[in-house]
Structure 1
């Protein structure tokens, strides 16, 4: 029956997303290491599900740059080089600068911070930034990643372009995947992690894109310096 088929498709799609989200968290937490290989069957057995949604989830994560397919053998966690990281940082810099360009030219985002819906959205973004700051200052990488991704996703959504939101989110996930491959080796991360989220949102509320660009440039320079020092030191 059409209804049964539709429900089955929805269930499989939901399961596919749940598996993809779980595996992404495994990679970001460092529990799945760079280069670590596995098969569809191994993941299906681990989660107690059929192979089809697992295969679809792994293909999705491969398309997002988190995994790589091994011909006829399975998948492995992608290993990012420093050159890859530089490229990712440059790409996200260009996307963010495009957001600020839109703000410079009077797009609706941040037009009136006192408008109730805009004010509520900005307050939510700021809360994510405050939580990210606390996690960074405490050196809690896992919590920081979660709030940082939410901060940027919610911030970018204020510019009204869902394609931009998805693209920037993918870039930030990829840069975090690369970053954790190195940061997990550091025993105490306090003082090493960028935490100027609230300063950035405050600058954007003031429509001060000069200051916002300066904050983002410092963020990117910090990220590059951190990874380059870890890989050479």
Structure 2
């Protein structure tokens, strides 16, 4: 029997060059289309009321900066309703922080920037979706962190921050790190985030070298994880 699950993935962007990356090809292979929504420019109501999968991507602003970026409050309000309805939702970096905040957890500036490639500590959890990431380097790129929402299951930690990924039920997944980064497009990040990188004294050359070393393996593992996540819907 053919699934009635909507065949378009909605993705909310907070920064033009932070897109679905390697995930796009995985979704195309699974028979999905992709539609992007630009936060701060487009009305996000359709994306956050959507009954299919909505992915909330990263960006350099903080969840708590609603005075400077008023659209964030509407995004948060719509997201709260979405999560209450248990609609399929994935958050990456800022997207994960927005999910944590919408679920009542505290999001705040961390004690240090975590930018660069390093492995995760995969936590014990029944049917942990992120098990394939054991011993795999992922890209971290954030300065904020969050407390674990009460109803969430912790999936992964890092040596810098304990809360790196969590799941709520079967439909809601939040990833602080960048699982979606594609090797061929990271250069856009290095250009677009140059001020942050230089202020934090992060080696751009090292990020580039590590991207060539680790990104392809991450993309292959990411595809496996997302295929598993989507099985419940298709």
TM-score, normalised to structure 1's length?
0.27
Greater helix share, structure number: 1
The structure with the largest strand share of the pair is: 2
| TM-score in terms of structure 2 length | 0.27
